[in-house]
């Protein structure tokens, strides 16, 4: 992967220097066309396959390691109505709703769904966009104590529960949006994404594969289990 990119950039550099010295003529346009074709037909597809493989490995060995099983659909997303009906993210609108990087899985009886979402909202009377990772955790048969948290405001809660919620929101921009009711926990981590950037030129090691770029999922599952213990 690194060799393919470095060779391509070296070819670009040589072509650029040559065109600068001799000027752009018919030969220059032909060289540019060849380089563009190589990028579109070889380098870009190779980059996409590589990034997809690396992302899949990180999901398997880090982000979703706490799950018994999961499915990853990078081009799919969560249901728009389900996200907006929860009221997360102030007064949201269904217009221009986007979602990708869908992951569905389970841990025992607990069902998990998460994806990146973007949709317009109204904040302090102004139009804005809310973008981040949406997480929905469902525990059939459990009725949780209702809880609503928006931004950095924190109600009075048991010590362990408050610590987990602070951890979950610690890396989210402007806090988090969290709703617990019925058998479900829903949250949006603003500024946090499943579609995290992967640089194809960076070396991949065991440490980079097992480093968890989204530990909030594990913390949210701990919070759900904590609620279950309280219910029992």
**Over the stretch 156-185, which tens digit does the pLDDT of each residue have?**
788 888 888 889 988 887 778 888 888 999
Between the alpha carbon of residue 138 and those of residues 29, 39, 62, 161, the distances in Å are 57, 44, 21, 18
pTM of the model: 0.81
**185, 136 contact by CB (below 8 A):** yes
Q: Residues 11-36: pLDDT tens digits?
A: 777 777 776 666 666 766 777 777 77
**223, 165 contact by CB (below 8 A):** yes
């Amino acid at each position: 992967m690194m060799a393919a990119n470095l060779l391509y950039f070296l070819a670009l550099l040589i072509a650029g220097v040559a065109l600068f010295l001799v000027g752009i003529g018919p030969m220059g346009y032909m060289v540019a066309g060849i380089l563009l074709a190589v990028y579109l037909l070889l380098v870009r597809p190779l980059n996409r396959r590589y990034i997809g493989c690396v992302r899949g490995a990180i999901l398997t060995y880090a982000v979703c390691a706490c799950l018994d099983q999961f499915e990853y659909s990078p081009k799919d997303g969560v249901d728009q109505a389900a996200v907006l009906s929860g009221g997360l993210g102030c007064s949201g609108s269904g217009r221009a709703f986007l979602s990708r990087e869908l992951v569905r899985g389970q841990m025992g009886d607990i069902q998990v769904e998460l994806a990146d979402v973007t949709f317009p909202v109204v904040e302090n009377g102004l139009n804005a966009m809310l973008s981040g990772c949406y997480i929905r955790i469902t525990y059939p048969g459990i009725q949780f104590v209702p809880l609503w948290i928006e931004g950095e405001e924190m109600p009075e809660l048991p010590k362990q529960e408050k610590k987990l919620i602070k951890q979950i929101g610690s890396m989210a921009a402007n806090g988090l949006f969290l709703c617990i009711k019925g058998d479900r926990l829903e949250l949006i981590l603003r500024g946090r994404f499943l579609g995290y950037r992967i640089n194809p030129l960076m070396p991949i090691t065991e440490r980079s594969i097992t480093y968890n770029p989204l530990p909030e999922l594990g913390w949210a599952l701990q919070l759900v289990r904590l609620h279950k213990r309280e219910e029992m």
